[in-house]
Amino acid sequence: MLQLGALTAVGPLSLTLYLPSLPQMARDLHTTDALAQLTITTCTVGLALGQLLTGPVSDRYGRRRPMLVGAGAFTLSSLLCALAPDIGLLLWLRLVQGLGGGACMVIARAVVRDRFVTNDVARVFSMLLLVTGIAPVVAPLLGGQLARVTSWHELFVALAVTGAMIIVAAAWGVHESLPRDQRGTGGIRASGRRFATVLRDVRFVGFTGVVTLGTTVLFSYLSMSPFVLQGDYGLSAQTYSFVIAGSAFGMMAVGQWGAWLVGRRGAAWTLRVGLVFGVTLDVALVVAVVVGSGRSVVLPLLVTAVSGLALISPSASALGLAAHRSRAGTATGVMGLVQFGISGAVTPLVAVGGTTPLLMMSTMACAAVSALVIELLIARAGAHRDAEPSREGLRLAVQGSGAWTGPAD
């Protein structure tokens, strides 16, 4: 379980760990702030493409080899990033780093789908949220503390060391989860058929939309809150870090409650609770901003709303992947591409004219409402099913070994 959590965390860590050192990087490489910020974009593109490309490959050749190749690419590119002499080379290396991180992320989710039935998938995803959900929130805090005693070069060295540790841990603790007789066959045409099968599944497309919109809420919070909370609500940098830390701990707590809730009521019911909870709080935030409420009202609402996101992504991901065990790599790759591609692009486009409290809260509320509407449409179409009864999935998760031995879809 820890190895899978580490695999899914490398992408978010690489994306946000060095953010506090961006100004220093721009000065050292004699480049503009805009080009320094472009290193975030290239890494995001790599994360999305890495998931899309590696997922189908793992359906054909198994999970372990693509996982180790991806972790190796992440580690080597991270080390080379620390040595990059100019911004041009750094941009290319960040793309490779993102490709490797995306490969690790998609393989981890595919392994979970290989081993567990639908409700257990949601429970395991909730456990993984201890790492993956809070990584993009905590990483800038960690990077900020490290930046006080080191430079951006050493931050990339730290990522390389992390990648090397993950290679060792994954090679030792993550066993092949896709037996040879369940792997896809054929070449490009066969891969195309798997993509077509996944994209024709209304259930998968709908829940991918829900996951993406939930991630959009989180990305809107992460990218806009520094300007809104420090600029408009007057928080100091230290107080803002406490708010971020509160959001991270809230996501951890709600994520574990969500795992328990899935076991009692199922993934579909847990998802509905999370969406209604999120819509209520995000709309309340819009109202609070419109009526001019102070930070004593806005901050608790905001932290609680972000914490509630931990109920959405694990359940929606599990429900979307339910019918695609033999195509788990392809399905998770498509889901990851859409998730990072759309949510990563929405916030910069929305905030192109400047960031305000109303814009931030409205973006979060619109994404939450849209996610709830999609989920209701899926339920009305009859596609909302917790597909399979739970068996030994959670026991296998705790033991960290063994593969699913039930029938393929």
Q: Domains plus CATH for the chain?
A: 1-178 (1.20.1250.20), 196-384 (1.20.1250.20)
Give the integer Cα–Cα distance in Å for 87 and 81.
10
Which pair of structure tokens corresponds to residue 107?
A: 């393989």
Query: Which among 21-35, 178-192, 239-253, 279-293 has the top mean pLDDT?
Result: 279-293
237-261: pLDDT as tens digits: 668 778 877 888 888 888 888 888 8
- For residues 75-86, average pLDDT: 94
Residue with tokens 């409290």: 357
82-101: pLDDT as tens digits: 999 999 999 999 999 999 99
Give the integer Cα–Cα distance in Å for 208 and 301.
26
**DSSP letter for each residue of 324-340:** -STTHHHHHHHHHHHHH
The CA-atom distances, in angstroms, between 347 and each of 101, 129, 136, 257, 395 are 22, 22, 15, 29, 40
Q: What are the counts of helices (DSSP H) followed by strands (DSSP E) for the chain?
A: 17, 0
**DSSP letter for each residue of 210-251:** HHHHHHHHHHHHHHHHHHIIIIIS---HHHHHHHHHHHHHHH
Give the integer Cα–Cα distance in Å for 4 and 271.
23
200-236: pLDDT as tens digits: 888 889 999 999 999 899 888 877 887 788 888 988 8
The CA-atom distances, in angstroms, between 224 and each of 64, 183, 218, 298, 351 are 38, 43, 10, 14, 8
pLDDT band at 79; cut points 50, 70, 90: very high
Residue with tokens 């994954």: 170
The Cβ of residue 74 has, within 10 Å, a number of other Cβ atoms equal to 33
pLDDT band at 173; cut points 50, 70, 90: confident
pLDDT band at 397; cut points 50, 70, 90: very low
pTM: 0.72
pLDDT band at 137; cut points 50, 70, 90: low
pLDDT exceeds cutoff 50 at 408: no
pLDDT exceeds cutoff 70 at 271: yes
Residue 86 has what pLDDT? 92
